Amino acid sequence: MLGSARPGAAGLTPDASPPPPLKAESRDLSFHYGNGFKALNAITMPVHEHRVTALIGPSGCGKSTFLRCFNRMHDLYPGNRYEGAIVLHPDNTNLLADDVDPIEVRMRVSMVFQKPNPFPKSIYENVAYGLRVRGVTNKNHLDDKVEESLRGAALWDEVKQRLNEVGSNLSGGQQQRLCIARALATDPEILLFDEPTSALDPIATASIEELISELKKRVTILIVTHNMQQAARVSDYTAYMYLGELIEFDRTDTIFFKPGRKETEDYITGRFG
């Protein structure tokens, strides 16, 4: 159900350059919850490498469900069922295949949640956690990785003097950046953000958005947001979802200036009844 997918067909700055290569794509992805509810219906959508893709849509449209498929979060509850595939490039791995280990998937595809959820451990241990799970014990290697990840999350200068304090002593925005550092530590290829700023004030929100723009040089990003302006500010591509369907996917400048479908236009202009 893809809408007008001509890139830049009606954008502010028509861009004839070819889209960047694919990092992943969902192919005819449907998802059923254990209670039989079908939350996603045959979603086919590209995820471009080193770009930010925003998923928008009203509550209950399936955008968070879709996001969680990318790191097999739904496996944690029995009875949930996937159909179709999420293919990770360049190795063409179907993340949803039975023989693919969800733990391995989560190393490659990390998640940052709505509310900052640091572990009840020190700042250092929060970031080192994923590496320790992977069996890394070399202290020098851990030190380097922790610093690199905290720098990547724009938090290093604020916490380098107090790495042994508990993470929950940090401010909300800092905690969220700590969670981003923790997600970065395993060198993921894709970062998933599920409404990462909805619990933050405008300044902390701006710093996370700035960070997202920096991070896309390293990783590919998928973000779910209720804040349409945020999607417009941070993303390169936008997908509009409604009732478990992908209504339209296009470049963000096209979606916010002249979307191809009336449903999209009604939603982003606040005409959604």
Partner 1 sequence: MSDHTSKQFDAEMEAIRSGVLSMGGLVERQMARAIAALEEDEDAKLIDAVAADERAINQLQIAIDQQCAQIIARRQPTAVDLRIVLTVTKVVNDLERIGDEIKKVAYKAAGVRGSDRLTRIRYYDVVRMAGGAQQMLRKALDAFARLDVNEAADVVADDDDIDVAFNAVMRQLISFMMEDPRTISASLEVVFIAKAIERIGDHAKNISESVVQVVKGKDVRHATAEQIRAEVAGE
Residues in contact with partner 1 by the rule CB under 8 A = 10, 228-229, 232, 255-259, 264-266, 268-273
In this complex, which beta carbon is closest to partner 1, that of residue 124 or of residue 267?
267
Q: How far is the CB of 185 from partner 1 (least distance, A)?
A: 36
What sign results for the dihedral spanned by CA atoms 75, 81, 85, 86?
negative
List the one residue out of 46, 78, 37, 66 whose CA is nearest residue 238. Answer: 46
CB of 214 to partner 1, least distance (A): 24
Q: Smallest distance, Å, CB 122 to partner 1?
A: 41
Region class of 108: left (phi > 0), else alpha (psi between -120 and 50), else beta: alpha
How near is the Cβ of 81 to partner 1 at its closest, in Å? 35
Which CB sits closer to partner 1, 6 or 38?
6
| CB of 29 or CB of 231, closer to partner 1 | 231
Nearer Cβ to partner 1 (59/137)? 59
22 token code pair: 């694919």
Bridge partners of 220, per DSSP, are 190
Q: Which is nearer to partner 1, 52 or 215 (CB)?
A: 52
Token pair 């993303």: residue? 235
Pick between residue 12 and residue 243 the one whose CB is nearest to partner 1.
12
Q: What are phi and psi of 212, to 5 degrees?
A: -60, -40
Both tokens assigned to 27: 């192919």
Shortest distance in whole angstroms from residue 267 CB to partner 1: 9
State how far the Cα of 217 lies from the Cα of 154, in Å rounded to an integer: 14
* Neighbouring C-alpha atoms within 13 Å toward the C-beta of 57: 24
Quote the least distance from Cβ 51 to partner 1, whole Å.
Answer: 20
Q: Which is nearer to partner 1, 141 or 271 (CB)?
A: 271
Q: How far is the CB of 4 from partner 1 (least distance, A)?
A: 10
Q: How deeply is 222 buried, as exposed, middle or buried, from its count of CB atoms within 10 A (0-12, 13-18, 19+)?
A: buried
